[in-house]
Each structure stands twice: as C-alpha cells, then as structure tokens.
C-alpha cells in the first residue's frame, strides 16, 4: 500500500531567499542598483547590498503564504512490505572506497545504517557528523533515527580514520568521495529498501561543511542538501576563513587542520593551494540544481555565518542569468523568532528559527526540516540534471554523471573547467587557479551516446588519436590552458525495406531538402530508424550534429 504524506504548498517559490528574522526575504536575483568592486570579500558584498536596501521587519513570519495540506502520491510513496510488524534496524555497514588504495587494496570504510526493514522505496538521507575527534556516528544517531522514523533510509558516514574506517582524514579533501561510495554501495546491498533517485544530505558543524563540499563536488547527485552551521572555507581567507575565525572557539581544532592541511598563516603558497582545493564557497556556483538550505545563526561562534553567507553570495554573483540560484535558501537565525508552520498562531518549540551549535534536538531538527521535509518525502524535489554546458570551479575534483575530473592528488590544486556536452561533440577547457601552473588533471568521460562511432580526440585542435565510442574515455594529463575535444562525425545509413527505405543515424537531427543547395528543413519528428516512402520527387537527407 502507499502512504499519505503531507505536502508543502507555497504561495510563491520559497527558495533562494535569505531567511533572516530581521530581514526575512531577499530578492531571488541580483539586487537592483548593486555594484561590485573587484577584490571585495563576499561578506562585504552582502553588507553593501544590505546597506542599499535595508531590512524589512516581520515578527509573525506569515508573509510567506505558507500552508500545509494532505495529498496522496503514488509514484514516489513509501511501500510497506508484507509480513511482520515494522522493525527498526541499526547496523554498521562496511563498503570499499573506489578512489583510495592501501597496500594495493581499496580501503575499507564504515557507515551506520538506520532504517525500517518493512519499508521499501524509502528516500535516502545521508547524515554527517561533526569535525572534532569526539564527533562520531553515535553523536548523530538520534538525528539519523528521527529521519528513519519519518520514513527515510539513513546513512551516517564515518569519516576516514574514525570508528573502523581506514585511510587518513584530510578535512574535506578526498574523504568527501566516501559519501558517494557509501550511498552507491547501499543502493546495491539494500536495493529493495531504497529509492535510488531520491537522495539528500544533511550535516552539522563539520558535517555541515562536508554537506556543502559534497553539493559542489557532486553537483548533479543530491536532490537536496541541508547544512547546519558548516564551514565553507577551512582557511583560505586569512580573515574570515575557519582557521582564523572560529576553529578554536571552545576548543582547539587548528592542530588537526595543521595535520590534515597545514597552517595557512605560515605554510606559504602550497598550503594555501590545499585550502583553495577545499573551498566550497568558491565552488558554490557548481550547483544551481539541488535544493540547498543553509541554517546558521547570526551569532554562531564556532562556524560563523560568513561561511554560509559567502557560499550563497558567491553562487549568486556567478549566475549566468537572474534567478539561476533560486535553489539556495540562507536561513539566518535569531533567538526568539518563530515561523508558524502549522498556522495555529502559537510560538512552539519546533518552530523556533534558532539552531545552537551542536547536534540538533528534536525540536531544532524539526524547525529546520519543516521547510522542505514534506516535499522531499513526497518526491516533489526532482533529481538534478547537469547543464549541457557550464563552467565549474574544481576544488580538487568534481564528479558528475557524464564526466569526472581530478586535479593533482585531489586535494592540492584548484582550477576552472569549462565544458560542453553534445551527442557528437564533448569539449573541456582547463585553467589552473593554484600557484603551480604545471599541475594537470585526469578526465573520465562517458561516451555511451557515441557508441560504435569513431571518435577523434584533439588537444588544442591537434588530433591526438581516435577510439571507438561507447565506454568511458580517460585522459591523464589535461593542463593549464588546454582544450580537449571528443568529436564523432555524423553518419547516415540507408537500407531497403520492401518498396521503402529505412534511414538510420546514431546521433544528430535529420534534415531534408529538395535540392543540394537547400533550403534544408529540420524534421524534428524523425527518430532513427526512420521509414521513407519513395515518390516521383527528389528528396535529400542529411544529419546535423550541434
């Protein structure tokens, strides 16, 4: 049977707005009249914008036009498996890394799973623990189990070097890939229980930082991400970066950063390169797809609000068109401010828009998740799809469904990658942003849409080699200023079919004309193979690949 779930309906799009109790709503695109000065820090840009427009005061927070109603969803609902009564399962799951080896073997990693074994097709919730050594999966178990009780299959990933996970922790470097490996392993091992297309990630403190990193390194993977007071800059900005602003509040954390990355104040350019390769605030422009919620208080001391603000503001500043980043909502909390989710006119604990640092209580968790939970559970938040062309900030590495790109060792180089993807042509251009311009990148490209075709590989226009498309193409040394192009020439074949003809083409669009000089008209309805009945009039055909 399928369950009936509450659905959130909005009077208007609720996303990509600052949820600030003093301001509540910011425009969904660039603020009119705002001008940026080169070299101005993102936090200063926000301050400039605020100074131009000022704040609007709203005490009841009801201007959003928010309402909740019940609706029945068949396609994305949970199903109860027949048999015994529901049983909650908590188990430690072992899975291999797909990117890191130790002594010739893929390192072994751990994650705690919390799920109901009588539910199938459950949406997946990844729950990330904090940064400090005392932050482990036990500390977030209650948060994961609340998501389990809401109908999710919860995966709590243990980061490297903790609780049985092999490898060396690296503070937001290669270890972020372990999140992806955990989810993919669960999809295989627990296939009857999970919905592989509905995956979201949430995390607290260091886990919030991991969430922001994962959203930029896997831009077309998560339907939604919710970061609670995370760090988006571990220390690249020597003023506002976490190393010098918050890391040692209430406890020393910079010694761990020194071990994992280095001291940005004294380490020189190479150490700063490592911090640049972890700067998710600079990579925020990679993801205009996932619904993203950033929860942080104005007075947050350990991971100050500038981390979330700079993530949001950098994304908006890089937009190609107004409103491109309407997927991001910045929730800036102030104690004593509530949002009346159930419209009963009462200020209730699970409506307080204030999230003190730590693992959220049940009320704190609900007061944040209420912004999206019903839509997420109801399957109303779509699986992201990568743009056909764009520019990515590669903070060490990035993995998308069509391609994957690694710079240096994955945690010491950053670059800008321009890409364009078409069935007959795929192109990638790299600019190194780190101090070592001789660094190179490794590229893997899915060429399944070129299957069986001869594919030409060119570097800066010079033919390097050819291969037969259909698999994953790997290039090991894309350098600064280089452009790699994979192109497959269009091909049109003709075969007799009784009195008619069958036209077939693996890629491209069929064009028709009466003479060679044209005009050539696009036959948008033609799908290969395409039947043609000969007439007494000449008809020419060709295939065009954009």
d(CA 390, CA 286): 9
Question: Helix, strand, coil shares of the chain as percentages rounded to 5?
Answer: 20, 35, 50
Question: Is residue 116 helix, strand or coil?
Answer: strand
The pLDDT assigned to 85 comes to: 60
pLDDT value of position 364: 98
292 neighbors 376 (Cβ within 8 angstroms): no
Q: Is a pLDDT exceeding 90 seen at residue 74?
A: no
CB-CB contact of 444 with 472 (8 Å): yes
H or E element at residue 459: strand 454-459
* Backbone φ/ψ region at 27: left (φ over 0), alpha (ψ -120 to 50), beta: beta
Q: What is the mean pLDDT of residues 30-42?
A: 30
The tokens 């500043």 sit on which residue?
317
> For residues 132, 136, 139 and 144, what is the CA-based torsion angle, rounded to 10 degrees?
130
| pLDDT on residue 544 | 80
What is the 8-class DSSP label of residue 458? Answer: E
C-alpha to C-alpha distance for 132 and 157, rounded to whole angstroms: 15
* CA 48 – CA 169 distance, rounded (Å): 38
* Separation of alpha carbons 448 and 143, rounded Å: 40
- Quick one: three-class SS letters along 436-501? CCCCEEEEEEECHHHCCCEEEEEECCEEEEEEECCCEEEEEEEECCCEEEEECCCCCEEEEECCEE
Cis peptide before 367 (omega within 30 of 0): no
pLDDT of 51 > 70? The answer is no
Q: What is the pLDDT of residue 513?
A: 87
- Residue spans per domain, the chain: 4-30+50-232+280-377, 389-487, 493-544
In order of 172, 235, 236, the CA distances from 266 in angstroms are: 20, 12, 12
Lowest mean pLDDT, pick from 208-217, 306-315, 379-388, 504-513: 504-513
CA dist 361 and 379 (Å) reads 26
Q: The whole model's pTM is what? A: 0.81
**Euclidean distance between CA atoms 194 and 152, whole angstroms:** 8
β 530-532/521-522 pair status: unpaired
pLDDT of residue 270: 98
Predicted confidence band at 545 (pLDDT cuts at 50, 70, 90)? confident
pLDDT in the model for residue 345: 96
pLDDT value of residue 35 = 27
Give residue 546's pLDDT.
Answer: 66
Per the prediction, the chain carries an average pLDDT of 85
Measured CA to CA, the distance from residue 274 to residue 396 in angstroms comes to: 8
Strands 105-116 and 88-102: antiparallel
CA angle 442, 415, 286 (to 5 degrees): 100
Count CB neighbours of 308 within 10 A.
30
Residue/partner pairs of 251-255 with CB below 8 Å, 24 or more apart: 251/132, 253/131, 253/132
500 vs 335, which has greater pLDDT? 335
- pLDDT for 292 equals 98
**DSSP for 293-336, written as a single string:** EEEEETT-SSS-THHHHHHHHHHHHT-SSTTTTTTEEEEEE-TT
For residue 489, name the pLDDT band (cuts at 50, 70, 90): confident
Q: Which of 174-188, 454-468, 512-526 has the lowest mean pLDDT?
A: 512-526
Pair 171, 278: CB distance under 8 Å: yes
Quick: pLDDT tens for 423-470: 889 999 999 999 999 999 999 999 999 988 899 999 999 999 999 999
CATH architecture of 4-30+50-232+280-377: 3-Layer(aba) Sandwich (3.40)
Q: 């990579």: which residue's tokens? A: 283
Is the pLDDT confidence value at 26 over 50?
A: no
The whole-number pLDDT of residue 30 equals 30
Q: Quote the DSSP letter at residue 30.
A: P
**pLDDT tens profile 77-99:** 555 555 546 699 999 999 999 99
Q: Where are the alpha helices (DSSP H) in 150-233?
A: 177-189, 206-217
Is the pLDDT at 527 greater than 50, yes or no?
yes
| Selected residue with higher pLDDT from 17 and 149 | 149
The full 3-state SS of 335-385, as one line of letters, equals CCCECCCCCCCCCCHHHECCCCCCCCCHHHHHHHHCCCHHHHHCCCCCCCC
Average pLDDT for 233-259: 97
Considering 4-8, 277-281, 448-452, 505-509, the range whose residues carry the highest mean pLDDT is 277-281
Mean pLDDT for 476-490 is 93
Asked if the model's pLDDT at residue 257 lies above 60, the reply is yes
pLDDT at 67: 27
Which residues are bridge partners to 511 per DSSP? 522, 542
294-349 pLDDT, tens per residue?
A: 999 999 999 999 999 999 999 999 999 999 999 999 999 999 999 999 999 999 99
pLDDT in tens, 528-539: 888 888 886 788
Q: Residue 330's closest CA among 383, 282, 371?
A: 371
pLDDT of residue 420: 97
Going by the DSSP 8-state scheme, the letter that residue 236 receives in this structure is S
Asked if 493 and 522 touch (Cβ cutoff 8 Å), the reply is: no
Picking from 43-57, 431-445, 475-489, 512-526, which range would have the lowest pLDDT averaged per residue?
A: 43-57
| Residues paired with 105 in a beta bridge | 102
Q: Does domain 389-487 have CATH number 2.60.40?
A: yes
Question: What is the per-residue pLDDT for 517?
Answer: 85
DSSP 8-state symbol, 2: B
Query: Can you give the pLDDT at residue 134?
Result: 66
Quick: pLDDT tens for 379-416.
999 999 999 999 999 999 999 999 999 999 999 999 99
Mean pLDDT on 264-280: 98
Q: What is the pLDDT of residue 73?
A: 32
The percent of residues in the chain predicted with pLDDT above 90, rounded, is 71
């Amino acid at each position: 049977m399928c369950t009936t779930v509450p659905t959130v309906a909005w009077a208007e799009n609720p996303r990509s707005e600052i949820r600030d109790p003093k301001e509540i709503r910011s425009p969904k695109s660039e603020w009119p009249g705002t001008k940026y000065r080169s070299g101005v820090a993102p936090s200063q840009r926000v301050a400039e914008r605020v100074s131009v427009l000022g704040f609007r005061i709203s005490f009841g927070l009801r201007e959003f036009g928010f309402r909740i109603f019940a609706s029945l969803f068949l396609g994305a609902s949970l199903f109860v498996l027949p048999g015994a009564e529901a049983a909650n399962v908590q188990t430690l799951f072992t899975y291999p890394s797909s990117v890191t080896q130790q002594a010739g073997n893929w390192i072994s990693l751990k994650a705690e799973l919390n799920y109901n074994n009588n539910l199938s097709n459950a949406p997946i919730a990844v729950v990330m623990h904090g940064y400090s050594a005392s932050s482990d999966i036990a500390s977030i178990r209650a948060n994961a189990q609340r998501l389990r009780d809401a109908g999710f299959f919860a995966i709590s990933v243990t980061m490297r070097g903790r609780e049985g996970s092999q490898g060396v922790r690296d503070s937001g470097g290669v270890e972020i890939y372990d999140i992806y490996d955990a989810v993919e392993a669960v999809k295989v091992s627990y296939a009857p229980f999970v919905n592989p297309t509905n995956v979201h990630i949430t995390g607290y403190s260091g886990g919030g930082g991991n969430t922001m990193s994962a959203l930029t390194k896997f831009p077309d993977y998560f339907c939604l991400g919710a970061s609670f007071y995370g760090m988006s800059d571990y220390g690249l900005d020597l003023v506002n970066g976490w190393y010098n602003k918050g890391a040692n509040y209430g406890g020393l954390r910079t010694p761990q950063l020194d071990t994992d990355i280095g001291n940005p104040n004294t380490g020189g350019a190479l150490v700063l390169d490592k911090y640049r390769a972890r700067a998710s605030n600079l990579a925020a422009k990679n993801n205009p797809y996932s619904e993203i919620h950033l929860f942080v208080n104005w007075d947050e001391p350990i991971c100050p609000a500038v981390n979330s603000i700079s993530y949001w503001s950098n994304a908006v500043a890089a937009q190609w068109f107004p409103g491109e980043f309407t997927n991001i909502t910045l929730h800036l909390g102030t104690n004593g401010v509530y949002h009346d989710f159930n419209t009963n006119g009462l200020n209730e604990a699970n409506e307080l828009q204030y999230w003190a640092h730590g693992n959220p209580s049940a009320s704190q968790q609900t007061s944040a998740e209420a912004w999206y939970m019903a839509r997420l559970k109801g399957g109303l938040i779509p699986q992201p799809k990568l743009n056909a062309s764009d520019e990515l900030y590669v903070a060490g590495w990035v993995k998308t469904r069509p391609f994957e790109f690694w710079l240096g060792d994955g945690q010491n180089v950053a670059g800008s990658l321009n890409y364009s993807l078409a069935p007959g042509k795929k192109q990638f251009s790299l600019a190194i942003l780190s101090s070592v311009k001789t660094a190179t990148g490794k590229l893997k490209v899915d060429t399944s849409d070129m299957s069986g075709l001869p594919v030409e590989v060119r570097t800066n226009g010079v033919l390097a080699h050819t291969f037969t498309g259909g698999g994953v193409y790997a290039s090991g040394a894309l350098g600064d200023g280089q452009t790699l192009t994979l192109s497959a020439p269009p091909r049109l074949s003709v075969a007799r079919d009784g009195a008619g003809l069958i036209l077939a083409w693996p890629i491209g669009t069929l064009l028709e004309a009466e003479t060679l000089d044209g005009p050539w008209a696009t036959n948008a309805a033609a799908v290969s193979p395409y039947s043609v009945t000969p007439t007494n009039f000449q008809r020419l055909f060709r295939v065009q690949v954009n």
